[in-house]
Structure 1
């Protein structure tokens, strides 16, 4: 048995999400260093579009990135008029968990991020998300990566 003398290094990367008043807005996400400027994303973003956990990204110093290798996951982002309740987060965690995915939110419950395998299929994912969203006042959800990115529901 051989041991890798240098296991992957856990770190965080800063990705450009948008600009507000001409100033960049960044999202900091967990990642594994693969090579200089090349990272495997460990968590799906809540603000950034175009990537999901499992993707390998080339990241520049200004936070811009390109997906070098697409992973097996879809990222679904959801937001509403206000904050989510702990119950609504528990509901989507339970529903998406049945598909083998995970749902996460920041402590203030301002938005929800879902990571689920592409293999589950868009129809099954859309059904779960639509059913959940129908029970939450004012919520919209969209695919944050893949061909479906930026398609709000």
Structure 2
């Protein structure tokens, strides 16, 4: 399994991510990554965004995805998902306070059985039971 992310080449081995990953931890849109030939990467400069990843017991419904997209707009962020909605990734500026992000994510997750969410590029984590 692999994930393709939009990125801009900065130097031969450094790229600026234009999207946050849904399946990889440690980076977000706006980060500068040094990527090795084997696909391994390191963040050489952290950008301004949180990457918030979500997963559930199955695929998300179009309605739950739409609800999260609407909620993240209130945070000046965005929610994205693959066409099959097997996960959702949210990108929000680090300038938005963690309590506001946690409130939005917890409120959204409370209505969905088995959903979990976490910060994919930080040491903060949370989940909904």
The TM-score with structure 2 as length reference comes to 0.95
How many Å apart are 1:152 and its aligned residue?
A: 4.5
- SS state of the match for residue 2, structure 2? strand
Aligned positions, number: 127
- Per the alignment, residue 121 of structure 1 pairs with 97
Q: Which of 43, 67, 75 is the equivalent residue of 1:67?
A: 43
How many Å apart are 1:62 and its aligned residue?
A: 1.0
User: Over residues 87-134 of structure 1, what are the superposed CA-to-partner deviations in whole Å (9 max), with x where a residue is unaligned?
Assistant: 100100001110100001100010000000000011100010000000
Higher radius of gyration, 1 or 2: 1
- Per the alignment, residue 45 of structure 1 pairs with 21
Matches within 5 A, 1:1-153: 25-148=1-124, 151-153=125-127
The runs of at least 4 aligned residues of structure 1 exceeding 2 Å deviation read none
Is the Cα contact below 8 Å between 1:59 and 1:65 reproduced in 2?
A: yes
Higher RCO (CA-CA < 8 Å; seq separation 6+)? 2
Q: Which runs of 5+ in 2 are unaligned?
A: none
Is the Cα contact below 8 Å between 1:80 and 1:138 reproduced in 2?
A: yes
Q: Which runs of 5+ in 1 are unaligned?
A: 1-24
Give me the whole-angstrom Cα distance separating, in 1, the residues matched to 2:3 and 2:61: 23
Please provide the CA RMSD for this pair. 1.0
Give me the whole-angstrom Cα distance separating, in 2, the residues matched to 1:39 and 1:147: 23
How many Å apart are 1:26 and its aligned residue?
A: 3.3
